[in-house]
């Protein structure tokens, strides 16, 4: 299927083959041929080669950028995005970049001026605005149903703890005595685009000011840094005077609220989609059924609710037809700067921070040399100098088992089972009771392996009790009821006795 009225093809190189490889399938329908891939990680290169056997694959970014292709998808480490995008544009490539666009305001200035100087297409790969419900909300908004924007609550409150110690495919970071390059320590406010981005695209408004207060309590199993592993709410004043409550970070309940109040209507697309009309809190509630625009059948098979397809579509469309896409370099700066300034506000006690507008030369000049980074941590140095790598090399693997996404081992399973047992008699339905029973059965099977993981973790902790890595180990062991788990025979007997009475 050809989505554009042209036979012209775009030759694409992917720089960063973890997240970047997830776009390969969608590219096929969008006049895009993936012809090159670059990653420092041999594991990622091998994976890519199996999918694209005829493509150039290299660990050398200069060799990669010298190759014959038109555009590059930058999905490298979070702190490297601006540098890598500028290097790609200087090599004559159009660029689409994973979130966010840059790491410091000074890098943002350099990025804008590189786009203006080279004339290359630049798009931010922020996909959440292009999910079906958010695209539908934008359609309704453009019809004037909602009036003026007043307030919104959008969340990307998502516990990605395991990714602090693994690559995107779940393989533990290597070498094992390091943590993930950026996910292990990045201040949560920086990763703000999945929640703020939809509101900006739906309403067409620009953020102008942000205030945020620091939340001190953090989840167990994270490196104990000032802005990671916790909830990160902020309040953002938009260009019309309305306000967005933007909630991001990690918590004990993932939430993805999608609620917007206008002066004439309200929408809630969090679960069941409904609109309250009548310009009143007592107006009629109407359930709606969001539909894709044209080409939706292609989006349905793409990642992130179809958003991955559409962000690739808009990029290809601008290159092939000249029609501008939703995320140009200036709107990309707007959403990125909100995260940077929210982190600064939270660490300064909630002092409001203005969002500079990098369309304006005077604003760029004010931030041209601003390279301050909130909470900068070196994930390669979470153990003391000279540490015994025979002991510490197991760190990433141990931590990935504690925070296993699937819940079949580690902290999630243990707490599901033991806390479920405490709530069991008060549970309202059989389905929940059966779920707790199944968790207890799974825990019985997993306990010997979990106990061994606790022992390996304690070995590392006993050797290096005062380093940054120790903060993640110690809190994991506490959450896992370590002493109870390591008394495995008695723990299993206790669980079996409970099952007999359940």
Q: What pLDDT does 72 receive? A: 98
In 78-118, alpha helices (H)? 81-90, 105-118
Q: Which residues contact 41 (CB under 8 A, 6 or more apart)?
A: 17, 18, 167
Contact 76, 64 (CB under 8 A): no
Query: How, if at all, do strands 243-249 and 122-125 pair?
Result: unpaired
Q: Which residues contact 390 (CB under 8 A, 6 or more apart)?
A: none
Contact 82, 111 (CB under 8 A): yes
Class of domain 129-293+330-367: alpha beta
Quick: pLDDT tens for 160-171: 999 999 998 889
Low-confidence ranges of the chain (pLDDT < 50): none
Give, in degrees to the nearest 5, the angle at Cα 74 between 72 and 75.
140
Residues of the chain with CATH 3.40.50.720: 10-127
What is the architecture, at CATH level 2, of domain 10-127? 3-Layer(aba) Sandwich (3.40)
Q: What pLDDT does 292 receive? A: 87
CA distance 105 to 98: 17
Residues of the chain with CATH 3.30.360.10: 129-293+330-367
Quick: pLDDT tens for 113-137: 999 999 999 999 999 999 999 999 9
Contact 154, 199 (CB under 8 A): yes
Q: What pLDDT does 396 receive? A: 98
Quick: pLDDT tens for 370-404: 999 988 899 999 999 999 999 999 999 999 999 98
């Amino acid at each position: 299927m050809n989505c554009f009225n042209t036979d012209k093809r775009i030759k694409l190189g992917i720089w960063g083959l973890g997240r970047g490889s997830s776009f390969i399938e969608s590219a096929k329908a969008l006049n895009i041929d993936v012809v090159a891939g670059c990653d420092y990680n041999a594991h990622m290169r091998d994976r890519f080669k199996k999918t694209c056997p005829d493509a150039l694959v290299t660990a050398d970014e200069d060799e990669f950028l010298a190759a014959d292709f038109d555009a590059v998808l930058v999905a490298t480490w979070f702190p490297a995005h601006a540098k890598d995008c500028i290097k790609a544009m200087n090599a004559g490539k159009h660029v689409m970049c994973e979130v966010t666009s840059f790491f410091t305001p000074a890098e943002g200035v350099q990025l804008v001026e590189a786009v203006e100087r080279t004339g290359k297409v630049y798009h931010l790969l922020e996909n959440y605005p292009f999910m079906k419900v958010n695209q539908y909300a934008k359609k309704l908004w453009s019809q004037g149903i909602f009036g003026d924007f007043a307030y919104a609550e959008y969340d990307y409150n998502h516990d990605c703890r395991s990714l602090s110690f693994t690559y995107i495919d779940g393989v533990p970071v290597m070498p094992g005595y390091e943590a993930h390059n950026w996910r292990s320590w990045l201040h949560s406010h920086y990763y703000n685009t999945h929640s703020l981005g939809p509101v900006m695209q739906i309403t067409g408004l620009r953020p102008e000011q942000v205030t945020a207060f620091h939340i001190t309590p953090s989840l167990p199993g994270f490196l104990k840094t000032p802005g990671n592993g916790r909830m990160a709410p902020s309040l953002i004043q938009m260009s019309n005077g309305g306000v967005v409550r933007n909630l991001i970070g990690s918590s004990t309940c993932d939430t993805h609220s999608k609620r917007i109040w206008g002066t004439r209507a309200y929408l809630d697309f969090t679960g069941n989609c409904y609109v309250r009309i009548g310009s009143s809190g007592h107006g009629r509630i109407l359930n709606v059924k969001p539909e894709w625009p044209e080409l939706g059948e292609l989006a349905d098979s793409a990642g992130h609710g179809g958003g991955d397809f559409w962000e690739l579509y808009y990029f290809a469309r601008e290159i092939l037809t000249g029609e501008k896409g939703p995320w140009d370099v200036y709107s990309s700066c707007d959403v990125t700067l909100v995260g940077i300034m929210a982190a600064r506000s939270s660490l300064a006690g909630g002092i409001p921070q203005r969002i500079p507008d990098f369309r304006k030369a005077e604003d760029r000049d004010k931030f041209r040399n601003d390279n301050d980074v909130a909470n900068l941590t070196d994930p390669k140095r979470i153990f003391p100098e000279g540490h015994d790598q025979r002991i510490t090399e197991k760190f990433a693997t141990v931590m990935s088992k504690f925070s296993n996404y699937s819940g079949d081992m580690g902290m999630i399973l243990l707490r599901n089972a033991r806390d479920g047992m405490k709530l069991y008699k008060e549970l309202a339905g059989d389905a929940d009771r059966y779920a707790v029973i199944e968790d207890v059965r799974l825990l019985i099977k997993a306990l010997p392996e979990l106990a061994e993981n606790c022992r390996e973790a304690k070995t590392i902790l006993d050797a290096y009790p005062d380093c940054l890595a120790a903060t993640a180990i110690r809190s994991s062991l506490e959450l896992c009821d370590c002493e109870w788990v390591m008394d495995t025979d008695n723990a299993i007997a206790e669980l079996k006795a409970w099952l007999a009475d359940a």
